[in-house]
Amino acid sequence: MSKTELIGRMAEAAGISREQAKLAFESVTDQIGQRLKDGKDVRIVGFGSFFVSERAAGKARNPRTGEEIERSASRTARFRAGEGLKSLLNG
């Protein structure tokens, strides 16, 4: 499902305009992103948790050439499904 499709479904389900749904969606994603940028977790009970994972600098290999390269340290967002989402998927 694309962002546009999701916004359309949100608008229909909530009985609001697509523009209002778009603003709500962008607000949620902006807030999650800002919280993660600040190094804090976001927990949505029944859905899941977003958290930041740190990756240390190290060595990696270019899969095409086999050449060893240096990989810099980085941060990335991770998601862990909550029990409600797991039950929905497996129930």
Same domain, 65 and 46: yes
Same domain, 18 and 35: yes
C-alpha of 67 from chain center: 32
Same domain, 55 and 35: no
Q: Whole-model pTM?
A: 0.78
Q: pLDDT by residue (tens digit) across 24-67?
A: 999 999 999 999 999 999 999 999 999 999 999 999 998 999 99
Same domain, 9 and 21: yes
Total domains, the chain: 2
* Rounded (10°) CA dihedral 30, 36, 40, 44: 60
Q: Over 90: is that where the pLDDT of 91 sits?
A: no
Cα–Cα distance between 55 and 35 in angstroms, integer?
A: 19
Same domain, 45 and 78: yes
